[in-house]
Structure 1
């Protein structure tokens, strides 16, 4: 499948798949979308819910992809003075030659983190790596349907390719795995706001809330795992 590194509306890059007419991030702004969906409505919300008494958060990312979400979470962990254990699942890792074309450190003026961004991709898979005192990373090369974690994560970044091109990733069977992987009161955030996605989440037990979407999207979804009765 043909792949192209392109520039999105906020100046940050992403990978475009012409055969699918699909991108790894929003064409309206890769960095804007990542911060809006996964940091502001995901990490910050999770941090507020947990409070400062236990500043340790475990995160599962569904679609490690370009590493953008992992990298800005690494930056945010230091800013918030929290400890994050991050697990990124990806069946088809992005080749290093494409990673080197992505301009996230330059756009965010985070030159001191540029080496870390590259390191996230160069680290071995299926192993736990301590990146800093605030952030550790484990990359797992597998399909989402192979996730069998139970009561493990406080937060899930659900960043799979859209349901238009990969509907099998947005089904009840997948969200049931997400539900089991989360701890009670854990949350899942995604850029999608499709009715079928919301219903699939609700059918497996999530409480689902519509939130304002990132630039170019009217809404996004945040799903919470209730406390067992």
Structure 2
């Protein structure tokens, strides 16, 4: 069943989607593009690669394919750095074509317009199958929930679920533990959420948790490293 969603523009000019049913957006009002770069790349993928420059391919697991922004930026990162990524993402409510084709991410940064066509390819890729999108980016996109997904060994986790106040079940101790159990030693978990209970649950699950400066409009975010 598809969700009712509406296209909105955030403060950095990039689009996001608003879900009236949850009164929630897919990204920060203060800038969808800036939030993704800050949380998932600066403090996530870039951080991991700095500490493991010779370990390839890198295995990334994303909770919430959503607009495809994180996956597309990961593809661009892989191609620009010539580092193979195996990207596993889940989404129980895929964004329909008439919506994702309106998203303006391909026009936000001139340096990555070379990869414009790949954005649509990510959305058009078959669900529940894996395969190469570009020479350095392989993706498996599962139309399922975090409760039901089969996880693989992971180096970096992009935990981009809706906020705990909107979908608390996605932040339960059991599901956080499920994700942490699939992480390799030294793996990194990043999320925009900095709630105290989430930090305590991640620490109890086996992560060394750090509170870091948040993206524009948000004071803090969280990164956990598998002990």
SS in 2 for 1:176: helix
User: Any residues of structure 2 matched to 1:78-89 within 5 Å, and which?
Assistant: 78-89=79-90
Match of 2:195 in 1: 194
RMSD of equivalent CA atoms: 1.2
- Gap regions ≥5 residues in structure 1: none
Alignment TM-score, normalising by the size of structure 1:
0.94
Q: CA deviation at 1:93?
A: 0.8
TM-superposition CA deviations, 1:190-218 (whole Å, max 9, x none)? 00000111111112121111010000110
Runs of 4+ residues over 4 Å off in structure 1: none
Aligned to 1:112: 114
- Tell me which residue corresponds to 2:93: 92
Q: CA deviation at 1:126?
A: 1.3
For 1:126 and 1:186, how far apart are their aligned partners in 2? 24
Contact kept? 1:90, 1:140, Cα under 8 Å: yes
| Aligned position for 2:143 | 141
| Aligned counterparts of 1:94 and 1:19: Cα–Cα separation in 2 | 15
- 1:54 shift after superposition: 2.5
**Cα contact 1:90–1:142 (8 A) shared by 2:** yes
Partner of 1:131: 133
1:168-208 deviation digits (Å, cap 9, x = unpaired)? 11111111111111111111100000011111111212111
Q: Displacement, 1:74?
A: 0.6
1:122 aligns with 2:118: no
Number of equivalent positions: 224
Moved more, 27-36 or 77-86: 77-86
Distance in 1 (CA, whole Å) between partners of 2:76 and 2:37 is: 11
- Deviation sequence 1:23-61 (CA, Å, 0-9, x none): 00001000000000001111101101112x234200000
| Structure 2 gaps, min length 5 | none
Report if the CA contact (8 A) 1:193-1:220 is conserved. Answer: yes
Matched, 1:67 2:71: no
Cα distance in structure 1, aligned partners of 2:216 and 2:114: 28
Residues in 2 aligned to 1:132 and 1:147: alpha-carbon distance in whole angstroms: 24
Residues 143-222 of structure 1 mapped to structure 2, 5 A cutoff: 143-149=145-151, 152-222=153-223
Once the two structures are superposed, residues 62-101 of structure 1 have per-residue CA deviations (whole angstroms, 9 ceiling, x without a partner) of: 0011100000111111222211000111111111111011
CA contact (8 A) 1:148 1:177 kept: no
CA offset at residue 20 of structure 1?
Answer: 2.4
Indicate yes or no: 2:67 matched with 1:41.
no
Partners of 1:199 and 1:148 in 2: CA distance: 25
Q: Report the alpha carbon displacement of residue 108 of structure 1 after superposing the two structures with TM.
A: 1.7
